[in-house]
Amino acid sequence: MGKKTRIDLMKLVVDTNVLFTIFLNPRIINKFKDLYSRGIELVISEFVLNELYNLKNKAKKRGISEKEFNRLIEFLLSIFIVVRDEIYRPFLKEATKISPHKKDAPLFALSLAFNKAPIWSREPKLKRQKVIEVLNDKEVEERFIKNFTKGN
């Protein structure tokens, strides 16, 4: 039998469209917890974190109190690795060539900064390139949650 690769070194770059659903569907928190508990390092950019803070008013309109909003942000900060843009900026030129959309180049640069870590996104167009693996919700669940047992 082949040697098993330890999954606790795996990074998963999380797109804003996945992260922002925390305010629409709080059950996504359980997926984040499951991934984190399995040793998957969830990575977002500092820019995404700032965008998240800017959603405070939208969250309020959805009935999320300021206290609950702050608790959600605190939770995210406890399990996500927040990467400063200086870390992935050197990869932007290459990422622009890879990314199907110019606006998504920072997401691809972040992936490149972590040795082409897979990207978790709900944007099907990101799969149009073949350099970096892009996973949707179902694929993330299949690979990292359903088919993984702790200790492997």
Alpha carbon distance 76, 82 (integer Å): 10
Pairing of strands 119-120, 134-135: parallel
In a domain, 152, yes or no: no
**Domain limits for position 25:** 7-146
In a domain, 77, yes or no: yes
130, burial (CB in 10 Å: exposed 0-12, middle 13-18, buried 19+): exposed
In a domain, 2, yes or no: no
Alpha carbon distance 119, 115 (integer Å): 12
Give the count of domains, the chain. Answer: 1
User: Predicted confidence band at 50 (pLDDT cuts at 50, 70, 90)?
Assistant: confident
Best mean pLDDT range from 36-40, 62-66, 119-123, 142-146: 119-123
In a domain, 151, yes or no: no
In a domain, 64, yes or no: yes
Q: What is the CATH number of the domain that holds 27?
A: 3.40.50.1010
In a domain, 20, yes or no: yes
What are the DSSP E strand ranges found in 6-143?
A: 11-14, 41-45, 80-83, 119-120, 134-135
User: Predicted confidence band at 150 (pLDDT cuts at 50, 70, 90)?
Assistant: very low
In a domain, 62, yes or no: yes
Element (H, E) at 96: helix 92-98
In a domain, 1, yes or no: no
User: Predicted confidence band at 20 (pLDDT cuts at 50, 70, 90)?
Assistant: confident
